[in-house]
Amino acid sequence: MFDQDRWQEIFQSIRQHRLRALLTAFGVFWGIFMLAILMGAGSGLENAVFVNFDIAKNAVFVWTQRTSVPYQGLQPGRNIQLKNSDMDALREQIPELAVISPIVQVPGSFTIEYGDESASFPVNGDYPEFLSVKPLIIEQGRFINANDILDKRKVAVIGLRVQEVLFKNGADPLGQYIEIKGVPFRVVGTFRSRVRGEEGTQDLQTIHIPATAAQLAFNRSGEIDYFACIPKPGVPAAVVETKVAALLKQRHTIAPEDERALGTANVEKEYKEVQGLFIGIRGFSWLVAIGTIIAGMVGVGNIMMIIVKERTKEIGIRKSLGATPWSIISMILQEALVISGLAGYAGLAVGCGVVAAIDYAVTNFGLESEFFYNPEINLRTAIAAILVLTLSGLVAGLIPGLRAAAVNPVEALRDE
């Protein structure tokens, strides 16, 4: 039930000691404000990292190096070359594999030509499964398909930067032919990257052609430079990584204990490590903020103890007139909650405003960075802050409230 007299009494008490209430409330305000700023900054850093995490989060990349251990009469230092037949064997013998995407890198630095325009760009031979490993946004046309692979078609999918350089004045590249090392390829699609920063720029400068066409046109005779694979749902990437390495070592007569012959990169492992890092950052932010809030609440508790001391005679009169211990406790608790609540909500509002202003500035004034993107304070964080604030306010008012409830009316009336 709403007691208007009680609330008027509380705000009158606060107005009578404005400076004291303001200084006490500032500690709570600062704690919640710091929590909002730290969580916003942490989310901006986290979003920047994960928005640039443009490859499948459970992918495994595999490439070959030199052997380092003699095995079955073979000397160390051998170069290992992956072949199409290796990819077929992996598909057939490792049932845990959902996707395998071989990649052929067209060697050398050379000029890509279209009409009178020319420039140097990297060229990769890919399979349609490449989009499962590294999603791209197709702007026009399409990506490489199964028929391109089967028929070894000389088609190309170009990044937007390639389009800008070779096709001036907004010319439509679809259906046009570009020359790669003197070999004509028909443009069937254009794409842009999902990531920002340097990696996104590099993506836009890349040309993708069918891997089989790259092998045929550039004398690679079934060679694969490296490949990416994705396990089936529920299968850890480490399981696939181990089985793939074991099968390739068997096929290429590599010692099982040779750790250098094959290179692997487990994206799932790296992703979990990054997730763990940001969990630690969030925990540290909460630790700092809660420590500041506790310091503020100690101040609230001390002020409430002073208020109880100042109002001892009043409390004695209330008790002598029949006030229950709970009514005395609730009076002190309400005042503590008002001070901490107003300060805390103000800190949360100002903190959210600052984070929103930073986000606006980053987005609209050219301040975007690959290390900071879209800072935000999610609803869960705000609710958690409110719960911490409410609990802290109750704790700050409880001890003074219990002390007030224990006041002896007779002794209180004698108090001067």
**Mean pLDDT of each 10-residue bin along the chain, 416 residues long:** 63 73 80 84 80 79 93 90 95 95 84 89 94 92 96 96 89 93 94 76 89 92 94 94 95 93 92 86 81 76 75 72 76 78 85 87 70 76 75 74 69 58
pLDDT at 367: 63
**b/e for 374-395, b at 16 or more Cβ within 10 A?**
ebebeeebbeebeebbeebbeb
pLDDT at 206: 92
Domains of the chain: total: 2
Q: Are residues 286 and 260 in the same domain?
A: no
Nearest to 392 by CA among 269, 275, 298: 298
The phi and psi torsions of 145 (rounded to 5 degrees) equal: -120, 180
Q: Are residues 304 and 277 in the same domain?
A: yes
Boundary of a domain, candidates 216, 248, 267 = 267
pLDDT at 83: 95
Given a contact cutoff of 8 angstroms between Cβ atoms, the answer to whether 322 and 8 are in contact is no
pLDDT at 370: 64
Q: Are residues 64 and 42 in the same domain?
A: no
Q: Are residues 72 and 218 in the same domain?
A: yes
Beta-carbon-side half-sphere exposure of residue 265 (alpha carbons within 13 Å) = 13
Q: Are residues 78 and 220 in the same domain?
A: yes
pLDDT at 407: 67
pLDDT at 39: 83
Range of the domain at 370: 4-53+272-414
Boundary of a domain, candidates 267, 286, 318 = 267
Predicted TM-score (pTM) of the model is 0.73
Q: For the chain, how many helices (H) and strands (E)?
A: 14, 14
Given a contact cutoff of 8 angstroms between Cβ atoms, the answer to whether 62 and 326 are in contact is no
pLDDT at 408: 67
Q: Are residues 128 and 248 in the same domain?
A: yes
Q: Are residues 170 and 247 in the same domain?
A: yes
Given a contact cutoff of 8 angstroms between Cβ atoms, the answer to whether 351 and 396 are in contact is no
Boundary of a domain, candidates 267, 290, 306 = 267
pLDDT at 305: 77
Q: Are residues 119 and 194 in the same domain?
A: yes
pLDDT at 236: 94
Q: Are residues 260 and 281 in the same domain?
A: no
Q: Are residues 337 and 254 in the same domain?
A: no
Q: Any idea what DSSP says for residue 371? A: T
Q: Are residues 339 and 392 in the same domain?
A: yes
Nearest to 208 by CA among 187, 229, 226, 184: 187
The phi and psi torsions of 42 (rounded to 5 degrees) equal: -60, -40
Q: Are residues 20 and 133 in the same domain?
A: no
